[in-house]
Structure 1
Amino acid sequence: MRRIALLCALVVAAGCAGLVAGRALGPAGVWEVLRGGGDPLARHVVLELRLPRALVALGAGAALGVAGIVLQSALRNPLAGPEVTGVTPGAVLGAVAATGAGIAGWHSPAAVVVAAVAGGCAGAGLLWLLAGRERADPQGAAVYGVLVSAALSGLTAMVLLVAPGELGSVVQWLVGSTEGRVWAHWNLLWPWTAVWLAVAWALAGPLTLLLCGEDQAAAAGLRPGPARLAAIGCAVALTAGAVAAVGALGFVGLLVPRLAFALHGADLRTALPGAALTGAAVVGGADAAAQALSRLLTEALAADRLTVPTGAVTTCVGAALLLLVARRTPQETP
């Protein structure tokens, strides 16, 4: 309980940091608005721009963290994050293709959600079909996941070549950004995420059994195939909702589960809430860092406005942490 309480405090701190990290309005001005004061411009900045952006960052982080731990548990592979199993690339492809066709856009979140969910399901379905009998094999599923992700990323590049005029509007999905998130995005994200988080919680028991292996799960009365399929479907839905809101935030769904397992053990009934809170804190903190870096670079380079995407922060930090983990992990010699 102490760890959960600490994570809750970190989530609140990350959200508060996102509120005060922007330009032109410091912590004192934000506090004044939250107390009910401030001029109309300050109230608009805090309540209509910064607050929904911070909430979207926290919600997307929670969704990606849980999607990652669900996938890693279902496939029994610590590298089975949404980014390398075809789920995130598929969702990005769906959003980009819909934008290129004029069906959806960055400021039409409802249409993007539908397109992202369709793409994420297509990516996961392709992995499911190609893996075949190797679905239960962690190494085999991971190899097919990397191949599917690479193929979907290539298709996304082809879409951009066909519709180069859309490059500016879709780059946020490719990198991941919380810039310009408003209440419309939050109003779609939170009920979607809440429903699928509840589904993930209902799957916590079966996922814990799957972590023990196929034979042990079957001996306990669990049908591994349907349970794994339900878990992957839940992870697809969570990832697609997050991608539709903020784009492809790199390494969140890959590294957050490792932190959750390290802190809470292999029991998903405690590790899953830990992953949700850790993901929210990570993305919320990355959003605050991106805003601070944007302000510093704008002032240092005397530019009109420079924006550092949140996904750039999560990717750089995540890659460094993954490299550190890989170097510290003992390698087995044949």
Structure 2
Amino acid sequence: NLAPGKTRDKILKPMRQVQQGIAVSSHLLGYDREFKKPYATERAGFAGGAALIRPELAQPGALLPGNNGLSGGGPDDPGDGQKAMQRDGGERRHLPDSRYARTPFVPAGQSTQMIVGATPENDYQMMAVTQALYENYGLKRVFYSAYVPVNDDSCLPSVTARPPLLREHRLYQADWLLRFYGFKAEELLSEEQPNFNVFLDPKCDWALRHLELFPVEINRASYGELLRVPGMGVKSAQRIVSARKQGGLRFEDLKKMGVVLKRARYFITCKGRMMEGARLDQDYITSCLVGDERRKAWDIENRDSFRQLTLFDDMHLEMPVTDEDHYASVTGSL
């Protein structure tokens, strides 16, 4: 254990308190910050007075099963929130309602950070924990930071080890899929495949393992189906759904909407036809996609533009002192 003072209870209990405080504050202020719309839900009893809270937060269940460090003893085991209610005699403790009603509680939301590569957890375990935090603790963001060796210790990687920047990059890509694209951790990885593909981004890798779901017809596919097409983002999928109401779309139209056809071309059809030169074959698509991803992977691992910066790093920029700088220093207007 690299941080003996940070127990599971000491980490999760404050998260639950912040989550409940945000929910109470949002109800008392009449606004749901998560969905950006006025609240409308049932009342629930609280210690110290009646307050409004979303039903799913009032009765938090057990977290994801498995060895992710967040779950209870099984599907029938109560979650941390329910155990806390049992200890408090069924009551939920929180700050006075008046404080929540005056100003938003934790207006920016709560986030956490995971250090990548310092301990032996694989990508699947990290994404399972991330998913549990989003679903059960209402976190705004989970950040990932590649471990930078700074001293020798038997529990830590060697000081000569390089920071796993590419792994950090893949985790961020997968995190985006969880938050905005409707993916689940168990769809992207599994115990049999616990780590992300080095040479393919998680979305492309998932699509290649599920070619039975493709090609997707652009003019008929649902918004959720469009989101799962490699090379297609949230905004481009929204534009497609809106634009096709006016008429059928062509490949030329997709490019104008921000679709990256270099990737999407292998997984879509327009008016029943695939783009010229594309075919639905796993080996062929993989060979086409890996070349570009190999270059990106090399850039991330080797180029200075992707390295982690230190507090005193000036990026070796030497700017000449101009006459204006001299004048500004004399007049005190720097």
TM-score grouping bracket, smaller chain normalisation: under 0.3
Radius of gyration: which is bigger?
A: 2
Higher strand proportion (structure 1 or 2): 2
Output the TM-score relative to the length of structure 2.
0.23
TM norm structure 1: 0.23
Q: Larger relative contact order (C-alpha < 8 A, sep ≥ 6)?
A: 1
